[in-house]
Chains A and B, each alone.
Chain A
């Protein structure tokens, strides 16, 4: 009964989404107040229906209802409850439902928070969101129904891919999808603005928080995915330039550009057409990534059940959403009036440069990812593009980006001069050079330079804060008071930029990591990365749905024991699949990382890594997202009480 209710709720949601699309867009076109007023209610009901459908799937999975094909294929009685729940979105059908649910949440949020929007704008935005949602829910219902039943029901399910039985999976897809799908809102605003034929500063003000929230989620999602690959796959790496990783990086890059160009629209009414294109492009890249991975066109470690027939449906859907919006763009964008003029050296100029560089990086990633299937199709060549290509092409674009990123916020709007930059950021540049110089003594050129860049980013990002608080130049109390009066957005931007610096430092540190693959018997010693590793024993252990071999490895430095590590190898009986469970000990400056490989004749293969600064990579991502969230908080405060803080204490 529960799956049928879920199926019904899904169908209702799909119908509501169609109604929302037609009533929203038609009502705004006819300027019919009653129709326009109906859309928020439809959006909220659609969300409730989708929440019901998702709840039904979770309940059916938690209750081991194996008559549902999706649950029989991906769950089993012995699976822990947490994974029964998270497993509902760990497969193709369930993840499409999650997509729909998050899109529904976005619609409901626009309906709830969008009360200050002009009613025609709100109706159009909700209409576009409803149309997108309708397409995806139809796709879910027709080709990927998670509630499909089979008779007779199997006694037990086939179980879930053991790699996915991890707490990380509970949060990685929802957070990542919130990022992907969240960009549907800026997209809907862009399409609505094109339909309306008008873009002004207010549009920039509406779009930016949505873009920023999505960007924060996407940043966290990518960081989590990278971290998951690091500790779950046990390969010791954090980024593999895998097509699925690239598919998440592309909208992140254009989304980052969007977050910045929307500022220019908001403050200066400039770059409007470009910002609209970025909003459309970012969501288009989110959608295309999903499509390419699931259609089987790209090779990836993320093996979703790949099905070209399903791919044709999604491609048609993409054609409608992306093709339709770009057609509208081609028709309407030339009519939009462009706004404020600015000099090349100015805040706007710096942001344009940021956009050009970010989009160039994105273009390079697209080329590298898409080259193999296109070369195969057009030239009949079998080629794979890997890390060497991406490293060689992304790095030269990233360096000017990083150089400009730290000081861009120091430039004034409209027209600036370069000399004040030197005046305000010289100390950061000097320290960065010292860091690079000192690093050069002990390591290769590239990591040393990267440490310099990281120092530049972290310190340079705070140059504006230092400047505005007169730190070290005015008495401390004065600086503190000025810091309190600082707009939170300035602080947020500085923190987000510094977060990038932390990630760069982590990446630079990882390039200095050392590792060794050894064949060991209990009692053997090895020296890796200045640590002494001793294999003590390898024992049997059992988990809820697996049997394991667990190694005990003692790590000592200068005769003192630092850690006792237990990497294991798990064998999941029901799928006849083996996974490695990595042991990681971190002190934030380095990770000790041990993997237990195959055993033969009493000796085991061990992989031992010392990963310098590895945690900084993900820490940087979290800091970036935090900075983004902080700027968001500022906006709301400013809207509520624009001059309270400045008015209290004259500076």
Chain B
């Protein structure tokens, strides 16, 4: 009897062992499925490398204007965010993805979002030509000619965007262009 039980236990163990590869594959498959469905909803982006300033207060800055608009400082930004969250977009005329996101930014503006722009390391004349060509969705535009503010925000390229909430915190961040699916996904109900 005992011998048979032991043999039975051996076979059961063997069966369990042979199930292990399937278990690993199912777990992997489930994880990939979650990633894909969240990528489609825009709540998961493995390409996003994050931002060290996320969740921290807006760093202090005071930037000149892109004439004839007004420039703005961090104080202006905080004051505006008190009434309604501000989408702060870093862009440049020489950046191709910035042109790609122009249509989505225009849509964002039409939805009544507060959208402010900072032109990063760009010739003002070229910035103006860029806005003439692709449209100007920004309520206010400042010029970061030195790139110091860009560094203070912990950015690594353009376009990158933040959402600044009423407490003056950098509440959300995206590296890369804002697309319609981002507006309908991650930004939905927040602007």
Contacts and interface: CB of A to CB of B under 8 A. Distances in A.
Contacts of A322: 25, 29
A114 interface: no
A327 B26 CA distance: 10
Contacts of B29: 315, 318-319, 322-323
B10 to A, nearest CB: 10
A376 B44 contact: yes
B21 A296 contact: no
A378 to B, nearest CB: 8
Chain A CB count within 10 A is highest, among B26, B36, B40, B49, for B36
B155 to A, nearest CB: 14
A329 B18 CA distance: 7
Interface string A287-322: 000011001111100000000110110010011001
Interface residues of B, number: 26
B76 to A, nearest CB: 30
A372 B21 CA distance: 22
Contact of A326 (B15, B25, B31): B25
Given A322-B25, A374-B31, A377-B44, A333 B18 contact: yes
A277 B19 CA distance: 11
B18 A315 contact: no
Interface in B1-55: 11, 14-15, 18-19, 21-22, 25-26, 29, 31-40, 44, 46-50
Contact of B47 (A281, A299, A312): A299
Contact of B33 (A296, A315, A326, A327): A315
A115 interface: no
Given A296-B47, A315-B32, A329-B18, A309 B26 contact: no
Contacts of A297: 32, 35-36, 39, 46
Given A296-B39, A382-B50, A384-B49, A284 B25 contact: yes
Given A296-B39, A372-B46, A330 B34 contact: no
B34 A377 contact: yes
B40 A308 contact: yes
B18 A308 contact: no
Contacts, number: 75
A374 B27 CA distance: 12
A529 interface: no
Nearest to B17: A334
A326 B21 CA distance: 7
Nearest to B34: A377
A376 B46 CA distance: 7
A329 B21 contact: yes
Contacts of A330: 15, 18-19, 21-22
A323 B24 CA distance: 10
Contacts of B49: 382, 384
B31 A377 contact: yes
B22 A329 contact: yes
Given A330-B18, A330-B21, A384-B49, A295 B36 contact: yes
A84 to B, nearest CB: 26
Nearest to A382: B50
Contact of B35 (A299, A318, A327, A373): A373
Contacts of B33: 312, 315
Nearest to B38: A377
A284 B14 CA distance: 22
Interface residues of A, number: 34
Contact of B46 (A281, A299, A319): A299
Interface in A240-256: none
Nearest to A288: B28
B37 A312 contact: yes
Contacts of A311: 32, 36, 39
B35 A377 contact: yes
Contacts of B47: 296, 299
Interface string A266-294: 00000001000100110010000001100
A414 to B, nearest CB: 24
A377 B14 CA distance: 33
A273 B20 CA distance: 13
Chain B CB count within 10 A is highest, among A298, A312, A372, A384, for A312
Nearest to A378: B31
A299 B35 CA distance: 14
A310 to B, nearest CB: 10
Contacts of A280: 21
B15 A334 contact: yes
A307 B5 CA distance: 53
B26 A373 contact: no
Given A296-B39, A377-B34, A382 B48 contact: yes
A382 B45 CA distance: 10
B91 to A, nearest CB: 19
Contacts of B26: 323
A376 B34 CA distance: 12
A328 B48 CA distance: 39
A299 B22 CA distance: 27
Interface in A352-392: 372-374, 376-377, 382, 384
A277 B36 contact: no
A326 to B, nearest CB: 4
Interface in A623-638: none
Contacts of A376: 44, 46
A292 to B, nearest CB: 8
Contacts of B34: 377
Contact of A308 (B14, B22, B36): B36
Contacts of A318: 29
A376 to B, nearest CB: 6
Nearest to A310: B36
A330 B40 CA distance: 33
Nearest to B24: A326
Nearest to B44: A377
Interface in B124-181: none
B50 to A, nearest CB: 4
A299 B37 CA distance: 17
Contacts of A374: 31
A380 B26 CA distance: 22
Interface string A326-341: 1101100110000000
Interface in B37-82: 37-40, 44, 46-50
Nearest to A374: B31
A303 to B, nearest CB: 11
A224 B29 CA distance: 31
A284 B24 CA distance: 12
Contacts of B37: 312
Interface string A388-420: 000000000000000000000000000000000
B18 A334 contact: yes
Given A281-B21, A297-B35, A376-B46, 18 more contacts: A291-B32, A296-B46, A296-B47, A299-B47, A308-B36, A308-B40, A312-B36, A315-B36, A322-B25, A323-B22, A329-B21, A333-B18, A334-B18, A372-B46, A377-B31, A377-B44, A382-B48, A382-B50
Interface of B: 11, 14-15, 18-19, 21-22, 25-26, 29, 31-40, 44, 46-50
6 contacts: A277-B21, A296-B47, A297-B35, A315-B29, A329-B22, A382-B50
Interface of A: 273, 277, 280-281, 284, 291-292, 295-299, 308-309, 311-312, 315, 318-319, 322-323, 326-327, 329-330, 333-334, 372-374, 376-377, 382, 384
Which 10 pairs, one residue from A and one from B, show the smallest C-beta to C-beta distance?
A382-B50, A326-B22, A308-B39, A330-B19, A333-B18, A373-B46, A308-B40, A334-B14, A311-B36, A330-B18
